[in-house]
Structure 1
Amino acid sequence: MTSKEEKMKEEIEQIKEELKRTKMESAATVATMDQTRHKISLRWLKRTSILIGIVLVIVLLFFAIFSIRSALTKEGTVTNTVSSFAEQIQQLSSLTTAKAYMKAVVEQEDNELFGRKIDANIPGTKRKTLLIIPGEVTAGVDLSKVQEDDVQIDEERNIIQLTLPKAEIIQQPSLDFSKAQVYSSEGLFRGKADIEEGYEMAELAREQVLQEAIEQGLLQSAEEQAERVIGTFFRQFGYETKIQFQSEK
């Protein structure tokens, strides 16, 4: 519970206590006068007690409304709200990611004689190797970078305007070697390629997976995911969100 909510709760409890005391005082007044035998005075005092009670209730309600309104509009409240919203946005960071599953096809050709690479294309020394391997890339919008200056709140129209960092690759491509396929076409003096040689081609495969994921719109998907998650989150509180992304530096 926020300090604002706690203060509002305290104000309401004080009002309840004041109303309770008012009722007790009114009842005590009526009971005291009931012991007298002046019926006309008793009716007048009852009416007076009721009127006093009503006036006190009105005064207390006015005081409550004024106090709550002051709590909501006092200096620093808007800043605190913006700060709170910025913190909530930062906590959504893990939900604003997008993943791409790609398959890299890497082809490599070299010449080797007696286990040593050579530059000359001597017959029987050439080998073509083909590596097919799936990979995964993760992109996201790093909401932990959102600051208070990036959040603008229009309380009258219930609109939150956000400026978010652009999506970026947050996890470098990971390759699934358990599903790797290695093919080779070799000359007389060359052996067949194996998975170990596939590992040597892994860096090329990672670069290919990353490039293809970006070309297929992975970063745009991450930004769209961020818009959906944040929009859904703040709709629960009655706010519409308008999001823009920072321009490239």
Structure 2
Amino acid sequence: MDTNGEILEEKDKKIAQLERQLIEFELKEARQQIAATIAVDHNSSSFSLPKGILKYFLKAGRLKIILAIVILVFLVVITAVGIRLIAGNALKQNSITIVEQVQELATLATAKAHTKAVIQEKDNKIFSKDISINLPGTKREILFIVPGTIIAGVNLKGVTSRDMVINEKTKEIDITLPRAELIQDASLQMDKKLIYVNGGLFTGDFKLDDGFDLVAKAQEQIREDAISVGLFDTAEQNAENALKGFFKNIGYKVNVTFN
């Protein structure tokens, strides 16, 4: 009996062992099938996307690239404009400063002439009355000598930013200036005048307003003489020298044109 029981017990153990092996085999097969299915699905999703979806993603990627390029170009343009505005504002401010400095040099852009007027006049008078004929004792000759000064200059006060071009790279300034003009007309030094009267026994005492307008003629002569010897040229040269000398000290070269 004991022997039969042991045999049955041994058979039960073998059957249980076979069942466990069968279950493990089935589980292994199931895992392999699941893994194969996942691999197939993965390959399918990687290489077998629908054409519409693929085009969509390709198009979307292209749009992103284009958008990135557009944004980059926009940023470059904005940066360039910003730099130009900043530089423009700085240049504008610099132009204003330079204009003010030019205007402050106005007193150096002048030339003064010292000269003498020599006026000769003659007439015929009897007791301070003009006569049309040259009777003996009625002829009178007058020599009027008087010193005077006259001033010409370039109007730097009228210079604006439109009259200059500033190149910060080359440190050059092109300035267009107006021509020199009289800024103070002939001024006579009447306290130093000399008057010589020759003849005229019946003419009476000589007076400056005695029909000759000697003062006006002296002023005109001083004006003409000063201009003829280069008063305007000297004023323009002084203006140019003043500008070049001043701006050379702060690192600029000045080119002057008169218009």
Q: TM-score, normalised by structure 2?
A: 0.64
Segments of 4+ in structure 1 off by > 6 A? Answer: none
Equivalent in the alignment of 1:178? 191
Residue 110, structure 1, aligned to residue 113, structure 2:
no
> Which whole-Å deviations, capped at 9, do the CAs of 1:179-237 have from their partners, x for residues lacking one?
11111112221235366759941110000000000000000000000011111111111
The unaligned stretches of length 5 or more in structure 2 are: 1-78
Structure 1 distance, partners of 2:126, 2:206, is: 14
Residues 121, 212 of structure 2: 8 Å contact kept = no
Structure 2 distance, partners of 1:198, 1:211, is: 22
User: Aligned ranges for residues 54-69 of structure 1 at < 5 Å?
Assistant: none
Tell me the SS of whatever aligns to 1:74: helix
Q: TM-score, normalised by structure 1?
A: 0.66
Q: Once superposed, what is the RMSD of the aligned Cα atoms?
A: 2.4
Equivalent in the alignment of 1:217? 230
Tell me the SS of whatever aligns to 1:183: strand
Identity %: 38
Equivalent in the alignment of 1:49? none
Tell me the SS of whatever aligns to 2:88: coil
Amino acid at match of 1:134: P
Aligned partner (choices 188, 199, 202) of residue 189 of structure 1: 202
Residue 228, structure 1, aligned to residue 236, structure 2:
no
Which structure is larger by alpha-carbon Rg, 1 or 2? 2
Structure 2 distance, partners of 1:197, 1:101, is: 27
With 183-192 and 221-230 compared, the bigger mean Cα shift is at 183-192
With 229-238 and 216-225 compared, the bigger mean Cα shift is at 229-238
Aligned partner (choices 136, 143, 148) of residue 135 of structure 1: 148
Structure 1 distance, partners of 2:118, 2:193, is: 10
> Which whole-Å deviations, capped at 9, do the CAs of 1:139-158 have from their partners, x for residues lacking one?
00011111111111111111
Amino acid at match of 2:252: Y
> Which whole-Å deviations, capped at 9, do the CAs of 1:99-152 have from their partners, x for residues lacking one?
000111000111111222222222211100001111100000011111111111
Structure 1's 71 and 198: CA in aligned 2 closer, same or farther, altered over 3 A?
Answer: farther
Residues 139, 199 of structure 2: 8 Å contact kept = yes
Aligned partner (choices 82, 96, 99) of residue 109 of structure 2: 96
The unaligned stretches of length 5 or more in structure 1 are: 1-65
Shift of 1:170: 0.5
